[in-house]
Structure 1
Amino acid sequence: MKRLINLTPSKPLKLLLGILPFALILVIYLIASDARLAENANDKLLPSFSQMGAAINNLAFEPSKRTGEYLFWQDTFSSLHRLALGIVIAALLGFSIGLLTGAIPTLHSPIAPLLTVISLVPPMALLPVLFIVFGLGELSKVALIVIGVAPFIARDIQRCTQEIPLEQLVKAQTLGASTWQIIVRVLTPQLLPRLINAVRLSLGAGWLFLIAAEAIASTDGLGYRIFLVRRYMSMDVILPYVAWITLLAFLVDWLLAKINLWCFPWHSAGNQR
């Protein structure tokens, strides 16, 4: 008798099982939307796909009467620019701090406890402080992403650095390598794929901080548009924007996974063994 824990679905079945939850959600939404619209044609809670398509067509393919911009694409570009800038800065900062504190004990002792405390501070609680210090411009939004993401990356890289076998460091020193040569030529190559994994894991938080900052103080962006139209209960705009953000997040995660596979195939092969 085969146990359920030992049953592995075939590739076609795995694909079908992966699609099934999304199909069920769509069917349930269509049924609920049709039922509400049948009772009230002006219902805004569950708009039909045609209503959502018309709203996004207006934002994506018709220029704004006030600015002349295509608002959907302008919002997308602004949000992705802020997210990319914040994540890149956070990755560089987190990688540097994590590598140095993980590799050098005299840096680990004073900095690691401080890093732990900083990582426990809710970034959203600092948003008013960032607005006061940096103003309502782009800097405060990027700073929120950096503050929210960098400590997580730093602690993850720190842990990964300390997990590298001590034998490698001893062998490098036996061959005459200095501290910086060990950091650059032994540790860094092994930690770069782990950095990409850490960035992938932190993207969800990065999107959260971005949307929150845009909702509070911005003139464009995906988060700004969602919170702007909420006062009109424009679910025909909100739901497609949420779906678009989800798709962008998925594509960014997929791209980072492919970059990790292309640049560091040995790391992926090692994880599969």
Structure 2
Amino acid sequence: MTGRSYYFPEGGLPPQTDLLTGRAVFTEAYAVIPKGVMSDIVTSNLPHWEKTRLWVLSRPLSGFAETFSQYLMEVQPGGGSDTPEPDAEAETALFVVSGEIMVTLEGATHILHPGGFAFLPPAAQWTLRANSAAPARFHWFRKYYDKVDGIETPRAFFANENDIAPTPMPDTNGVWATTRFVDPEDLSHDMHVTVVTFEPGGVIPFAETHVMEHGLYVLEGKAVYRLNQDWVEVEAGDYMWLRAFCPQACYAGGPGKFRYLLYKDVNRHMKLGRPLR
């Protein structure tokens, strides 16, 4: 294992003496949910999950996320679920940040440590248990799988980012790289979850403006992020949602690496509105 850092909120509440001014922002183009507002008072529970609480970072909602939901899960030792996913059409991606989880898929057991990743296709029969003495903490992405005639639904797989060499972005001298769990050319997948890493001072050198919806959770470090027309400071534990076509750029502030967990929808035709008749 490497010395990589994966931030996760500890909960609790700020003291009554704190000022109310913060960095939370919710707009039509983007949202910023800073780590300081992920307190005990905004956690949720789920049916058929034991010893579990979660923070909902995004959900399909008018004016907000359209394609996915993302949860920050915290499962106490021995907790979990034998029926975790209620929707047979939903695909799942899991990314572990602390502790250990045991995922049983169709009778086979898989142990995931920090940096561990799992993709579970729709209708998969799986269970999950916290498998360590400390709480297990992980991200859970859920999306309706967009089936295409002639393309097989992707199979389940398990990986760890520490075993994957990051792919440098072209013309960046290696200061901007992406750890990919899925081959971008594999059209069976309609979402990508990756880890993006910037060395100190690394930048996205233009305002990316494209069709993909994004969810970005900062795992490590700090940066100034361009969201639409605003520059926003972010740090480990902050979450950003960007709607499709929201301009984005980034400047990694150092002194260490700036790393985030990224979701985006990919590889499908745009849904067309029906003309009025």
Which bracket does the TM-score occupy, shorter chain normalised? Answer: under 0.3
Tell me which protein shows more helix as a share of its residues.
1
Q: TM-score, normalised by structure 2?
A: 0.22
Tell me which protein shows more strand as a share of its residues.
2
Q: TM-score, normalised by structure 1?
A: 0.22
